[in-house]
């Protein structure tokens, strides 16, 4: 049976997923079975280091695929609160190792960590039309509120849709562990640079909490066991 680890950063994100399935407290992580897969649920804490440590623990526990889910900021004007972004690739927006590396590239590693195309295809085919936005998610250790910094990121990564603090670190860990597949599934909590961004973020759990949980179940249902 395929083992899929779901990694969330915050308590609120963790609890929304925990309510989805009949998790038991066997071993180090909550475990459940859903759609022909063994599910591990892991809370990492916020930020790249916490995310990488949790991802490594998931790999050590035998996870065949890593999934990071939770909130993200929208950094494209086409997005609004409640939109769901499935990353076809991820990278860092706050890494610079000097020439000849590209902005966002860790020296010796690819600039982009790409989700396997067959995984993207399977998920898109199995979800309602328009349910997902598919594109680039960028990660960094900062909660973005500065419109000036947003413009810098969009200039460096014009195709970026969403920004978070964990996805690239989890993808890098998966890459370094025998290039295991990963999924970054994020729901937009706020759109960076909007005048009411802070209010939008603070009100997220009052506005669309059910969708944050449901998106995980919708994607897992769409993703059958033959993806590796």
Catalytic-labelled residue, pool 11, 13, 25, 178 = 13
Task: Report how far residue 33's alpha carbon sits from residue 118's, in angstroms, rounded to the nearest whole number.
Answer: 22
Catalytic-labelled residue, pool 88, 164, 190, 200 = 190
Nearest Cα neighbor of 184 from 155, 215, 209 is: 215
11 an active-site residue? no
56 Cβ contact list (under 8 Å, min separation 6): 173, 177
Task: Report how far residue 106's alpha carbon sits from residue 166's, in angstroms, rounded to the nearest whole number.
Answer: 15
Strand, helix or coil for residue 198: helix
Strand, helix or coil for residue 220: helix
190 an active-site residue? yes
Task: State the Cα angle at 137 between 133 and 140, rounded to 5°.
Answer: 150
Q: Which residues are catalytic?
A: 13, 190
């Amino acid at each position: 049976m395929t083992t899929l680890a779901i990694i969330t950063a915050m308590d609120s994100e963790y609890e929304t997923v925990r309510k989805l399935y009949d998790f038991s407290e066997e071993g180090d992580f909550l475990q459940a079975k859903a759609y022909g897969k063994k599910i591990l649920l892991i809370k990492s804490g916020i930020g790249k280091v916490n995310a990488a440590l949790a991802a490594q623990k998931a790999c050590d526990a035998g996870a065949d695929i890593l999934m990071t889910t939770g909130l993200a900021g929208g950094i494209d004007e086409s997005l609004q609160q409640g939109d769901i972004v499935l990353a076809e690739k991820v990278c860092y927006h706050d890494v610079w190792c000097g020439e000849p590396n590209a902005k966002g590239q860790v020296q010796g590693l690819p600039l982009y960590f790409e989700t396997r195309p067959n995984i993207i295809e399977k998920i898109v085919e199995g979800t309602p039309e328009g349910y997902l936005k598919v594109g680039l998610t960028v990660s960094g250790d900062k909660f973005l509120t500065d419109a000036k910094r947003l413009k810098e990121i969009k200039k460096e990564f014009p195709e970026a849709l969403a920004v978070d603090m964990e996805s690239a670190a989890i993808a890098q860990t998966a890459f370094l562990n025998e290039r295991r597949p990963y999924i970054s599934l994020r729901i937009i909590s706020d759109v960076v640079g909007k005048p009411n961004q802070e209010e939008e973020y603070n009100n997220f759990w009052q506005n669309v909490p059910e969708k944050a949980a449901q998106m995980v179940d919708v994607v897992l249902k769409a993703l059958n066991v033959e993806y590796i």
